[in-house]
């Protein structure tokens, strides 16, 4: 079902009038984690003012160590839904387990599967019937074929609204956190009709690389970008402050991107 042989036309996902996979570029911006009502409200206002369409933020965080901040949980879903509604933004949040799919689907417009869960097949099956679009991140060691097979689980369950996300892979290079695989963008679009979103934040792990890799992703044909932005990155509650843009950088980037591709 994910294959372009089966479905030659691009899939365009329409969420409350925002079209993902069409001519326009979709920008998802926001913090790594939802921290407080004030934090997410301020960031939502900045995402909207800059021209973004979707507010990102994790309420449930997949942390490498068990003692790190794990996210604020269901309360974060509520905080983000309120901020999205107030500022006229769609929302996207990560769901980590099948048990939480229904509640995440109740509060968010798009459900995100993280890189560590790309082959959590029970989760993928559950997302097949959740009724909401899914952004499926590529596992950091997954091949294109494995990513497309993971998408197939969701599609086969009856959910046609899947976006593929390149978020960087593990290579021998240690200067960057991950290596953003730009080739994934055109290859996935050749093999599949599903929209392809690029994540230059996790794809590099370094703030100063987010701008050039965003532009490179758009030049390579990405249908959208998911970018971390924080009002106080140095004091953010996850380690991802180092890759989060400051609000003025985020706004300047969107202005530049508008010259490359129209924003919705
Ligand atoms: C995130 O989007 O904050 C995240 C944890 O992403 P990934 O699953 O790509 O690491
Ligand atoms: Mn993050």
46's CB contacts (< 8 A; 6+ apart) are 229, 231, 247, 250, 251
Give the pLDDT score at 264. Answer: 63
Q: Which ligand is nearest to the CA of 230?
A: 2
Separation between Cα atoms, residue 21 and residue 25, nearest integer Å: 8
Average pLDDT, the chain: 97
Give the pLDDT score at 43. Answer: 98
**Cβ atoms within 10 Å, residue 191:** 17
Separation between Cα atoms, residue 109 and residue 3, nearest integer Å: 25
Instruction: Tell me the angle at which helices 74-87 and 37-50 cross, rounded to the nearest 10 degrees.
Output: 40
Residue 261 above 90 pLDDT?
no
Q: How far is the CA of 202 from the centre of ligand 2 (A)?
A: 6
Q: Which ligand is nearest to the CA of 169?
A: 1
Instruction: Point out the ligand 1 atom lying closest to the alpha carbon of residue 33.
Output: 3
Residue 263 above 80 pLDDT?
no
Which residue matches tokens 């991950």? 178
Residue 91 above 80 pLDDT?
yes
Residues 182-224 have pLDDT tens digits of 999 999 999 999 999 999 999 999 999 999 999 999 999 999 9
Mean pLDDT of 39-55: 98
Separation between Cα atoms, residue 96 and residue 116, nearest integer Å: 9
Instruction: Point out the ligand 1 atom lying closest to the alpha carbon of residue 114.
Output: 8
> Whose CA is closest to atom 2 on ligand 1?
32
ipTM, two decimals, is: 0.99
């Amino acid at each position: 079902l994910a294959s372009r042989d089966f479905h030659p036309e691009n899939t365009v996902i329409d969420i409350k009038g925002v079209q993902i996979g069409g001519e326009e570029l979709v920008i998802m911006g926001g913090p790594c984690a939802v921290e407080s009502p004030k934090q997410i409200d301020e960031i939502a206002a900045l995402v909207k003012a800059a021209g973004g369409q979707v507010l990102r933020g994790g309420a449930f965080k997949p942390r490498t160590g068990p003692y790190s901040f794990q996210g604020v949980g269901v309360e974060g879903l509520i905080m983000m839904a309120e901020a999205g509604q107030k500022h006229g933004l769609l929302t996207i949040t990560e769901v980590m387990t099948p048990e939480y799919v229904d509640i995440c689907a109740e509060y968010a417009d798009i459900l995100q599967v993280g890189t560590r869960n790309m082959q959590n097949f029970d989760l993928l099956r559950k997302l097949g019937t959740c009724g909401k679009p899914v952004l499926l991140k590529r596992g950091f060691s997954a091949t294109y074929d494995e990513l497309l097979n993971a998408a197939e689980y969701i599609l086969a369950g009856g959910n046609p609204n899947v976006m593929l996300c390149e978020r960087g892979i593990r290579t021998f290079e240690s200067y960057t956190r991950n290596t953003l695989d730009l080739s994934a963008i055109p290859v996935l679009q050749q093999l599949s009709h599903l929209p392809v979103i690029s994540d230059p934040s996790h794809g590099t792990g370094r703030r100063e690389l987010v701008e050039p890799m965003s532009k490179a992703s758009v030049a390579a044909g990405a249908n959208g970008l998911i970018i971390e932005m924080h009002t106080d990155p140095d004091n953010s509650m996850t380690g991802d402050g180092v890759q989060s843009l400051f609000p003025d950088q985020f706004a300047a980037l969107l202005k530049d991107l508008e010259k490359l591709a129209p924003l919705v």
